[in-house]
Amino acid sequence: MDIANSSVIIPEEKILERKVKCMIISLLSQSHEIMYRYKLRSMNAKKCFYIFSFGMIILGFGIQGFCQSTKNEKSYQGKPFIDSKYKGGAQVLPGKLQCECYDLGGEGVAFHDTDSINSGSGKLNPADGSYLHEFRMNEAVDISYTKFQDPPIDNNAFNLVEPEKDQLYVGWTKPGEWTKYTVNVTEAGTYQLGLMFTSNKNGKISIAVNDKDATGLITIPSTANEKETVPWRNWHHWNSLDNMAQIELKKGIQTITLHTEELGDMNYDYINFKKIK
């Protein structure tokens, strides 16, 4: 590395934070100077000076906090999903968070997947020009959709809850994988989380809000059935959990991350966010 030609890039929010700190120090020193210049040495003048100084320090902390939150928001480079059909921007909560509509931004930003191919779109479901077969087919997150056919696939007799037809879902899930979503929470409060899923091994997931774990490990009970006559169809037995966790959400734009924690082999259609208080 050529040290002579290297340069340190200071982030914009860091520059703002430094300017604010300099401004406060400058104002404090100027006020001190004013106090002595005009010989404001009476008790009242001193009290005013100390109250003013205290106010400036509180203001400084407030502005620093604002800079920090601005920094956190700016540090995430993902953007809400958009395509020819979905143009809604950040997914709105309360409501259903569609798992396949994770953010744009790529590996390590909007998702982590253990390989670089989509095992569903463009592979299991060959590219044929259709929306369902080519949905995000050049991204690593593995996506398929509910197929109602004869002989049955997702419309099978072992479903505990009947799914809707042609619903896109994230599948082929493995421990360590995650998908992130920019959401717009319209009402602050306590939310009950539900999940439309299939599960093959009693896998575990967790949900993070703004990158902080909000649920701990959640077991997603297996929907495999020993009476199933078509072994691979054990990946297509749908069920839903109405209350897998309860979390607090603030109002506004933020991120939700769905983590596959243990075992994997689950399909995620959507997470239902229901406000309960």
Per CB under 5 A, contacts with Ca ion among 159-218 are 168-169
Contacts of 232 (CB under 8 A, 6+ apart): none
Position among 91, 245, 269, 273 found at the interface with Ca ion (CB under 5 A): 269
Is residue 265 involved in binding Ca ion (CB under 5 A)? no
Instruction: Give me the sign of the Cα torsion angle 164, 165, 168, 174.
Output: positive
Indicate the helix (H) or strand (E) that contains 271. Answer: strand 266-275
- The Cα diameter of the chain in Å comes to 94
Instruction: Considering the complex, state which of residue 54 and residue 86 has its C-beta at the smaller distance from Ca ion.
Output: 86
Binding of Ca ion by 98 (CB under 5 A)? yes
Contact track, Ca ion, 127-156, x by CB under 5 A: -------------x-x--------------
- To Ca ion, the closest distance from the beta carbon of 101 in angstroms equals 8
248 binds Ca ion (CB under 5 A): no
Could you tell me how many helices (H) and strands (E) the chain has, helices first?
3, 15
Contact between 257 and 181 (Cβ < 8 Å): yes
Nearest approach, Cβ of residue 96 and Ca ion (Å): 8
Among 13, 17, 103, 113, binds Ca ion (CB under 5 A): 113
Place of tokens 């087919």: 137
Positions in the binding site for Ca ion (CB under 5 A): 98, 113, 115, 140, 142, 168-169, 269-270
